Amino acid sequence: MSERKTRKCQVLVVGGGPGGYPAAIRAGQLGLDTVIVDKAGLGGTCLNRGCIPSKAFIHAASKFEEMRHLAEKSDMGLSLSAAPQLDMAGLTAWKDGIVNKLTRGVGQLLKAARVDAVNGWAVFRNAKTCVVALADGGELEITAEHVILATGSKETELPFMKFGGAVIGSTQALELTELPEKLVVVGGGYIGLELGIAFRKLGSAVTVVEALDRIVPLYDGELTRPVTMWLKKNKVDLHLKSKARGVVEEGGKTFLEFQTDQGETQRVEADKILVSVGRKPVTDGWGLETMGVDMDGPFVKIDDQCRTAMRGVYAIGDLTGEPLLAHKATAQGEAVAEIIAGHKRRFDPVAIAAVCFTEPELVGAGLTPDEAKARGEEVITGKFPLAASGRALTMEGGADGGFVRITARKSDHVILGIHAVGKHVSELSGEFALALEMGARLEDIAGTIHVHPTLTEAFAESALAALGHPIHISA
């Protein structure tokens, strides 16, 4: 057995994802002796196999699709004389280049903050001590005054069709070097749809099998309608209320077998079957059970300062529950570092906005009208179609049924939720979150001059619509 070294520190961060690395950087900035441990590479799921690579992939797919259309038919006075060629290996390499650049950047930021980054797998012996099996051999025992758990989440497998062979998860979907001719997506949540749509744009025949009666269940039917329209127009085969039953091999071909809402069993041929039925926290294999923390279902239970039941042990990000979003983890990580440094902080956002990079894109911040009503609120809403936005039209948007919708309390006009669907609307999410955090009323948004010509005008117009006097549509 090789030598075991020891290290004492003030803050130990386990997991180098979008929760862990900002926590470590902030702790380092605050002068705390900080160690971060990660096995799979800095940046976590987000940078390595989630947000960033999927967005690169989606962008390339959209570009390819546009070129393909131009090769078929001229548009805006533009045309291509030959169809574009797809080199999946080239696409993957380009995406990997972006990922590498970003993860290297994280390493440099940690270094600049004097954080000690350890590459290896940490297993806790007790709440404050772990042994890291170092990636380059040997062991390091770390004892910390404060521990931040940021182990994140992983893809959920279906027990009757585990990953392997034709069955892949989102991680492998982003590593493919050959385009699957026939792709079946199990799960119509945002990950399945983002990837399914991108593969469709690249030319795969795509089938989506979803157990519920709707796609992207976090958004209401009004919002998802433009996405459903796109799927229909682009011949994506959508089966709602249908349950995957398993994989069948027959005659050298692979099929997904599923049960429809009528109770019939159907088969669909597949080169690859993408299972995207959710994510679950990583709670096994690193000694969580030795730490004496309380659980909340599958997640680690925390309070509004991200404290677990164990003194000096904090947990952040996907490990701690919904929503499983990188920016939530980042905000928690920063807050926890400051709490450890003795600052007063609390994690109490009004809203955590979420974005789906489907076609068209979806944005949600705060409550939908239905959710607000379920809380006993009397609401008014205002909706502004992107078809009436000059800027949307100049970017080939608006024709997809996109809109911005604002939901406010009827009595005092305080904004409760803001949602949008349409091309490029993901970039509006920041303003939506800001409006909610600042406690804005409809009048605040209507009274803020929004730049022309941008998509943000649609937000101001939606507030005017809720107040009953929009300019660019008839009230």
Chain contacts with another protein (rule: CB under 8 A) = 126-128, 289-292, 294, 296, 301-304, 307-311, 320-323, 328, 341-342, 344-346, 348-352, 365-367, 409, 411-417, 436-439, 441-444, 446-447, 464, 467-468
| Cβ-based nearer residue to another protein, 30 or 158 | 30
| Cβ-based nearer residue to another protein, 56 or 464 | 464
Concatenating the DSSP letter of every residue in 226-251 gives: HHHHHHHHTT-EEE-S-EEEEEEEET
d(CA 30, CA 109): 14
Please answer whether residues 57 and 72 qualify as being in contact, where contact means their C-beta atoms are separated by less than 8 angstroms: no
Q: Minimum Å distance from CB 286 to another protein?
A: 15
| Cβ-based nearer residue to another protein, 275 or 313 | 313
| Cβ-based nearer residue to another protein, 218 or 395 | 218
Q: Minimum Å distance from CB 181 to another protein?
A: 40
d(CA 358, CA 351): 21
Question: Tokens in use for 274?
Answer: 């993408």
Q: Beta-carbon neighbour count of residue 254 at 10 Å? A: 20
Q: Which amino acid is at 438?
A: M
Vertex 328: Cα angle to 323 and 329 (nearest 5): 105
Q: Minimum Å distance from CB 415 to another protein?
A: 7
Please answer whether residues 48 and 98 qualify as being in contact, where contact means their C-beta atoms are separated by less than 8 angstroms: no
Question: Tokens in use for 453?
Answer: 């010509």
Q: Minimum Å distance from CB 322 to another protein?
A: 6
Catalytic residues: 452
Strand partners, 123: 131
Please answer whether residues 53 and 134 qualify as being in contact, where contact means their C-beta atoms are separated by less than 8 angstroms: no
From first CA to last CA, the distance across the chain in angstroms is 77
| Cβ-based nearer residue to another protein, 261 or 289 | 289
Q: Minimum Å distance from CB 455 to another protein?
A: 21
